[in-house]
């Protein structure tokens, strides 16, 4: 028999090594069993120099090992140092092949034949130790590998990368620098990958750097070739190397042999654990990715906590002090009590598990408001989501009459309309009594909506009712709209999709809740765009009211979500409400008139079409240049550079022109900004005025630059000091107005001044927020050619320039 320990930890990843370090620190007898000859094999095998993120940012790290976002090498070095300093007992080259419980002790069988005994076992093996392998003829040949350590190791090879997940794409892009790369994707498009990677791979394929087979499967591997099953037959590709990145799954056989049960047969299912990370086998604990927590920081915290639990300390989770601070205004320090009150009172949060709820609360802000205080104002450009815990709020539904108020009590939520449409707030909300509210940021909500189905359903049901009441049937009580809302459904359309076509039968209508559409009609054999309809409007009521076929075609200008309303239900609502019927019919007549007007000037329609094709439809504030006035003096660019430290965020000359309307390369402040999607430090925000800007916490990762479809974000070094106009004019000090300072990384500038190394930062138009008077580019245009427009104004711009 071998040695006996209090705790045996299997796997030296972030979770395992954090547990071992804590046990060492506490002087608890322990052993850390690692299959390889180094710590944390998964991170060890990351691409060289890979930048490792430390999300979630708000979660504090609780571990005896250090960890912060940084390069793979730095992180591994610091862990090695900690493990050595704490004299942690690590047993390398020790693959555990079996764990058996014998009375109160576990026997861990090692591959070399040794047996280790322990009172408690922590399984921290993660998933990456069990990579999915190719299961075809020839898969065992030496040209197949499942990992890529250093892409620069290979040169002038033909490499086939199988698997178009994030790992496969990152590998393919890194390899393409000096190899010829072929990517094999099992599905027909790139689904479920990070936006940044999507932009990179699409670009690489377009440029021809990477060749890609979609809907392809591996059929056979030969010593110098691979055969792929593609939609139209088989393709044999000669290659030097095959890198298969097929993901990883729980080493189910091993885990089950330890006595641990899985909830279902699904390949991706993971074992369930108690709040103290204990599995169904008493004394056997599971932490990290195998227990469902794949992030490094979570795993490290769990490592620390599991050791405390094993020695009998029921310590509170790491985020406890943060939540206590957050809830301080509630005059109740008991976090658990507040959390359970939240779960009980607020139905939206009901479906979250305790850990998810804690995360949401960490991201949220608690507002304790006195009666009459404002939560947000109509036309504010905020897009957070609010829930009411105690007290009530009043929503002013009529902008002209502040006495018309709808009151929401405890458990209700509001602010979801801004979240969905990405547009300005539609109503002012005030505290109707002393109340306690939670404000949850947009990013957190989007993540939740994507991952928690029941939350999305609850949200949608209430949202549809409110959207109908706000945009379609104001003043109609909810009871009368019940049938209409219950039969309504949410439909999604991609850019260019036809929502309905001219001549179709019109038995339903759409309320646009996000995105915008164009209405066009076939006149003399060609499509003429009649109008542009932004979100918050309804379409399709004309055919419904007149019982005629659709008179026009409606297409999605970009991603659109509509509430599709059944015609019969709508007609019944109209029959009961004379005032509403009058309104709808008035709008109907107005539309017919407007359509006739537009048919007389088809060039205006062409301009709208052009603007939509440039993606202007999803913008909220777009810079346009009237080329009939522009004298090409570039004062707009110079003004931009001057007010933003020497770097212009707009390129006047670049960008397309139609008639005399020019769309320069400049930020449009999109409704749902693409750049915001994947910012690791969450540095991109939207001000209440609508400007999308990047704050100082930018780390220069370049995700936003890649995610922006309009190429308006650039990475630049922070600028140097500038002098005033007369110092430049008379003394030659500094660069000329509007001219960028030549900044050389870690070197000397033209004047021989030395610099310390600075990191590049992402810069983009911030609409000159904080500068009185508004956007400098427009104010600096001497001829009035530069103008900024919002979607509501497109129609007037189009008719003006026509």
Which residues here bind other proteins, judged by CB under 8 A?
A: 626-633, 635, 638-639, 642-643, 653-654, 656-658, 660, 662, 725, 737-738, 768, 771-773, 776, 778-785, 787, 797, 800
Phi and psi dihedrals of 490, rounded to 5?
Answer: -90, 130
Compute the least distance from the CB of residue 646 to other proteins, in Å. 11
Cβ neighbours of residue 330 closer than 8 Å, sequence gap 6 or more = 338, 366, 368, 436
By C-beta, is 579 or 736 nearer to other proteins? 736
Which CA distances in Å does 151 have to 14, 41, 52, 75, 212? 24, 18, 17, 20, 19
Q: Where are the beta strands (DSSP E) in 460-550?
A: 489-493, 498-500, 508-514, 516-523, 526-534, 538-539
Q: How far is the CB of 789 from other proteins (least distance, A)?
A: 9
- Smallest gap, in angstroms, from Cβ of residue 645 to other proteins? 11
What is the nearest approach in angstroms of other proteins to the Cβ of residue 701? 29
CA separation, residue 113 to residues 94, 95, 319, 619, 719 (Å): 10, 10, 42, 66, 63
The number of helix segments (H) and strand segments (E) in the chain equals 23, 41
Q: Cβ 730 to other proteins, closest distance in Å?
A: 13
Cα 358 to chain center, whole Å?
20
Q: Are 182 and 168 in contact (CB under 8 A)?
A: no
15/664 with CB nearer other proteins: 664
Three-state DSSP at 202 gives: helix
Pair type for strands 210-213 and 180-184: parallel
Q: What's the CA gap between 600 and 610, in Å, rounded?
A: 18
Q: How far is the CB of 632 from other proteins (least distance, A)?
A: 6
CB 115 within 8 A of CB 295: no
- Decide if 310 contacts 304 (C-beta within 8 A): no
Distance (Å, whole) CA 228 – CA 339: 53
Q: Name the residue nearer to other proteins (CB basis): 226 or 630.
A: 630
CB of 782 to other proteins, least distance (A): 4
Q: How far is the CB of 691 from other proteins (least distance, A)?
A: 15
The nearer residue to other proteins, 57 or 739, going by C-beta atoms, is: 739
Dihedral of CA atoms 169, 172, 176, 177 in degrees, nearest 10, equals 70
Contact 780, 768 (CB under 8 A): no
Nearer to other proteins, 99 or 786 (CB): 786
3-state SS of 365-402 is: EEEEECCCCEEECCCCCCCCEEEEEECCEEEECCCCCC
- Cβ-count burial of 233 within 10 angstroms (0-12 exposed, 13-18 middle, 19+ buried)? exposed
Q: Judge contact between 491 and 559, C-beta under 8 A.
A: no
Closer to other proteins by Cβ: residue 58 or 771: 771
Closest CB to other proteins among 504 and 627?
627
Identity of the residue, 247 or 735, whose beta carbon is nearer to other proteins in the bound complex: 735
Nearer to other proteins, 581 or 779 (CB): 779
Residue placing its CB nearer to other proteins in the complex, 300 or 797: 797
DSSP lists the bridge partners of residue 37 as none
Rounded least distance, CB 776 to other proteins, Å: 5
Shortest Cβ distance from residue 667 to other proteins (Å)?
Answer: 17
Q: How far is the CB of 505 from other proteins (least distance, A)?
A: 40
Cα Rg of the chain (Å, integer): 30
Q: Which is nearer to other proteins, 609 or 626 (CB)?
A: 626
Q: Which CB sits closer to other proteins, 218 or 643?
A: 643
Cβ partners under 8 Å of residue 776, min gap 6: 636, 639, 640, 642, 643, 768
Q: Please, what sign has the CA dihedral across residues 317, 318, 320, 326?
A: negative
Closest separation in Å from C-beta 648 to other proteins:
11
Query: Contact 722/743 with Cβ under 8 angstroms?
Result: no
**Cβ 686 to other proteins shortest distance, Å:** 22
Three-state SS for 782? coil
Q: Between 335 and 608, whose beta carbon lies closer to other proteins?
A: 608
């Amino acid at each position: 028999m071998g040695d006996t320990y209090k705790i045996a930890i299997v796997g030296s990843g972030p979770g395992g090594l954090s547990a071992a370090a804590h046990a060492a620190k506490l002087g608890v007898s322990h052993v850390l069993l690692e299959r390889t000859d180094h710590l944390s094999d998964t991170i060890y095998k990351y691409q060289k120099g890979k930048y490792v993120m430390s999300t979630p940012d708000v979660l504090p790290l609780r571990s005896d090992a250090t960890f912060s976002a940084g390069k793979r090498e730095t992180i591994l070095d610091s862990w090695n140092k900690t493990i050595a300093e704490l004299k942690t007992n690590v047993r390398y080259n020790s693959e555990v092949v079996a764990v058996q419980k014998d009375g109160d002790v576990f026997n861990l069988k090692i591959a070399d034949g040794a047996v280790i005994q322990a009172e408690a076992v922590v399984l921290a093996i993660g998933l990456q130790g069990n990579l999915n392998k190719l299961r075809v003829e020839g898969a065992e040949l030496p040209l197949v590998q499942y990992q890529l350590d250093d892409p620069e190791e290979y040169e002038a090879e033909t490499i086939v990368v199988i698997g178009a997940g994030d790992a496969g794409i990152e590998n393919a892009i890194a390899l393409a620098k000096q190899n010829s790369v072929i990517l094999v994707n099992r599905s027909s498009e790139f689904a479920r990958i990070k936006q940044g990677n999507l932009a990179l791979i699409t670009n690489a394929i377009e440029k021809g750097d990477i060749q890609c087979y979609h809907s392809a499967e591996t059929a056979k591997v030969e010593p110098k070739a691979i055969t792929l099953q593609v939609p139209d037959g088989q393709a044999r590709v000669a290659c030097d190397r095959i890198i298969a990145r097929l993901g990883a799954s729980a080493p189910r056989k091993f885990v089950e042999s330890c006595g641990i049960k899985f909830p279902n047969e699904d390949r991706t299912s993971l074992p369930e654990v108690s709040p103290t990370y204990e599995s169904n086998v008493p004394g056997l604990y599971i932490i990290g990715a195998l227990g469902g927590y794949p992030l490094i920081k979570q795993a490290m915290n769990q490592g620390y906590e599991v050791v405390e639990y094993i020695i009998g300390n029921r310590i509170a989770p790491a985020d406890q002090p943060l939540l206590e601070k957050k809830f301080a205004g509630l005059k109740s320090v008991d976090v658990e009590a507040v959390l359970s009150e939240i779960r009980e009172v607020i139905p939206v949060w009901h479906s979250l598990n305790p850990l998810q709820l804690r995360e949401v609360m960490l991201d949220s802000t608690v507002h304790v408001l006195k009666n009459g205080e404002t939560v947000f104002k109509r036309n504010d450009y905020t897009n957070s989501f609010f829930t009411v815990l105690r007290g009530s709020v009043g929503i002013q539904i009529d902008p002209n009459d502040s006495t018309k108020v709808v009151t929401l009590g405890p458990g209700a939520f509001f602010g979801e309309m801004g979240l969905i449409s990405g547009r300005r707030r539609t109503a002012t909300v005030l505290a109707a009594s002393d109340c306690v509210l939670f404000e949850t940021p947009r990013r957190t909500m989007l993540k939740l909506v994507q991952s928690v189905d029941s939350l999305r359903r609850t949200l949608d049901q209430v949202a549809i009712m409110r959207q109908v009441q706000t945009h379609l049937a104001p003043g109609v009580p909810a009871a009368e709209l019940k049938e209409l809302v219950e039969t309504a459904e949410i439909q999604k359309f991609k850019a260019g999709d036809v929502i309905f076509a001219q001549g179709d039968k019109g038995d339903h209508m759409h309320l646009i809740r996000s995105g915008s559409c164009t209405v066009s009609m076939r006149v003399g054999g060609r499509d003429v765009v009649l109008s542009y309809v932004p979100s918050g409007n309804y379409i399709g009521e004309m055919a419904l009211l007149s019982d005629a076929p659709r008179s026009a075609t409606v297409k999605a200008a970009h991603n659109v979500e509509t509430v599709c309303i059944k015609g019969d239900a709508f007609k019944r609502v109209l029959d009961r409400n004379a005032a509403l019927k009058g309104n709808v019919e008035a709008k109907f007549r107005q539309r017919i008139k407007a359509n006739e007007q537009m048919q007389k000037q088809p060039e205006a329609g062409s301009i709208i079409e052009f603007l939509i094709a440039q993606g202007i439809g999803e913008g909220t504030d777009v810079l346009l240049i009237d080329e009939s006035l522009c004298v090409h003096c570039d004062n707009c660019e110079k003004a931009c550079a001057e007010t933003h430290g020497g770097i212009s965020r707009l390129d006047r000359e670049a960008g397309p022109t139609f008639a005399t309307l020019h769309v320069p390369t400049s930020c449009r402040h999109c409704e749902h900004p693409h750049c915001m999607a994947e910012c690791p430090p969450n540095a991109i925000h939207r001000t209440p005025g609508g400007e999308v800007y990047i704050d100082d916490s930018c780390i220069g990762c370049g995700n936003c630059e890649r995610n922006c479809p309009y190429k308006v974000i650039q990475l630049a070094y922070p600028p140097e000091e500038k002098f005033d106009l007369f110092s430049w004019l008379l003394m030659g000090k500094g660069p000329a107005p509007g001219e960028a300072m030549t900044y050389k990384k870690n070197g000397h500038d033209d004047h021989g001044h030395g610099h310390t190394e600075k990191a590049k930062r992402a810069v983009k138009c911030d609409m000159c927020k904080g500068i009185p008077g508004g956007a400098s580019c427009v104010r600096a245009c001497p001829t009035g050619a530069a103008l900024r427009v919002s979607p509501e104004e497109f129609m007037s711009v189009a008719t003006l320039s026509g």
